[in-house]
Every structure is written in structure tokens, then in C-alpha cells.
Amino acid sequence: MTRSQVPWRAELEFSDFAAQEDEDLDLLTGALLIARDARPSLSWQSVEKTLDDLARPLVTLADARLSDQAEALALELSERFGLSGNHEDYHDPDNSFIDQVLTRRVGIPISLSLVYVEVAQRAGLQASGVGFPGHFLVRLDGADDEHLILDPFSGGRVLDLRDLEQMLDRVGWPRRVLEQGLLDPSPLRLILARMLTNLRSVYLKRGELPRLLVVLDRLLALIPDSKEALRDRGILNAELGAPEAARADLHEYLRRWPDADDSDVVRRVLGRLGKPDQRSLN
């Protein structure tokens, strides 16, 4: 759905949602609002029911050993329900939408992790998302600061230190960051922003610019200080023939970051846009 096709109510609801304090945000609500941009008729109740049904067999595990919780979660979601990573079409936008992940039972690391976290929490387990570099993960917490890291994209496999170090090696990050809170639970706002950032890359690669514009709107609602999103939206508006919107974003970008490395590029785009139509200022 393009921005012009997004009902005004959806715009209002996402803006209201994003304006909440961090502690008031709900991960599933945010994910459903993102999914609704692509599929306005999606059934929230159906998604909630599926998650509740998946959690029901796990409710007896709240006091079980952490390793047993992890094993049961992977068994229920990856083996019985059939959740798996979409290796064949990783960049399909449907991989990012919670309703489609539950329907098609394939997704990418962050969307599969969302399902794991939502199901685990419904079952009374202490689960959270971990924004690991290049590959989103799930953290299960138990008593006495014990925790396990799971990879839903790999069938819910429990990762050890060597696995995590190798994952860092693959993305060029130093191993020492593991000691700097890298495995701490990610703030919900940043999880949703990461979901939108994935969609931004997907729509850019596919050349779906109107959909990309909606994603940038959402990103800026969540993270108003996102320098890249503001710049990209301004440039995209210029490409889509919306010069007034482009000028507003790009002038704001230069006002806030006048010495940015790409400020000359932004000024050139503004120069190509020319002067505002005086009729639009009356």
C-alpha cells in the first residue's frame, strides 16, 4: 500500500503509538501496525489467537529448567508448527509481516524472533529480543542471572559463545563487544525500527518507492532523530514529484545537521528543486 492509499486512521494510530513512552510500547501492536500498511484487512484477532494457541502447550514450563524451556519452545514453534527461515526468498517483504509469517510459516530472523518472544511471554517465560549485529536473536532468562540465546532462524537452536563469536566475525565486529551488553534485551522501539529498516532495504532493492515512503514515515514517527531517514525521505519525495515535501525535509536536515558529510549532496538536490511555487505559500 502506498502512502496515498494508507487510510488517515492508520496514519493517526501509528503516530499515536509511536508517541508513547518507551515503557508503554507493545511489540505486537507495533508489528501489526507495520503489517497493516501492506494488508489493511488483516485480522488482529486471528494473529492473537494463533499466538495464544501456540503458547498453550508451554504454560507448564514457567518453573522448568531453562534448557527445557528452550527445547520445548523450539519443538513447539519450529518442529510442530513449522516455523523456518526463508532461505529461498529472504528479501520478500512478507517475511517482515507478522500475519504472513504465521500464515506462511517462514520469515527472517527478526520476525521469527518476534513470534518466539510473543509465544514465550504468553506462556509465562521470560523472553526478549536481542538486536545482535546482522542477525536478530532471542534471549531466555531464568533464575540467578542465567540466560540462553536462541536462533529462531536456525530452528530455535541454542547458541554458545563460539557460535556468537563466529557470527560477529562474519559481520566484521570485534569479539570484545560481547562483554559490552551486546546480549542485553533490545528496547522495543529499536526492535520495531529495525523491522522497518529491513523493509526499507527490501523496498529500495525492489524499486517500490511509494511503499518505501510509507516505511520512512513510520521510521521517523518512531525515531524522530533518524538522520538518514529524514534525508532519504526528502530525496525520495523529490524523486516522486513532491517538491514541497522534499524541501521541508531537506531544509530541516540541513538545519539540524549543517555540517553533515553529505550536506553538499543535499544542497544540490535542493538546488535542482528550484524555488517554491509562491501559489502554494498563499
**pLDDT tens, position by position, 58-71:** 999 988 999 999 99
- The pLDDT-based confidence of 226 (bands split at 50, 70, 90) is very high
* Span 99-116, pLDDT tens digits: 999 999 999 999 999 999
Residue 71 C-alpha cell reads as 527445547
Q: How confident is the model at residue 2 (pLDDT cuts 50, 70, 90)?
A: low
Q: Are strands 106-107 and 137-141 parallel, antiparallel or unpaired?
A: unpaired
**Structure pTM?**
0.90
Integer Rg of the chain from CA: 21
C-alpha torsion angle, residues 65, 68, 72, 78 (rounded to 10): 120
Q: Identify which of 155, 197, 161, 157 has the alpha carbon closest to the alpha carbon of residue 182.
A: 161
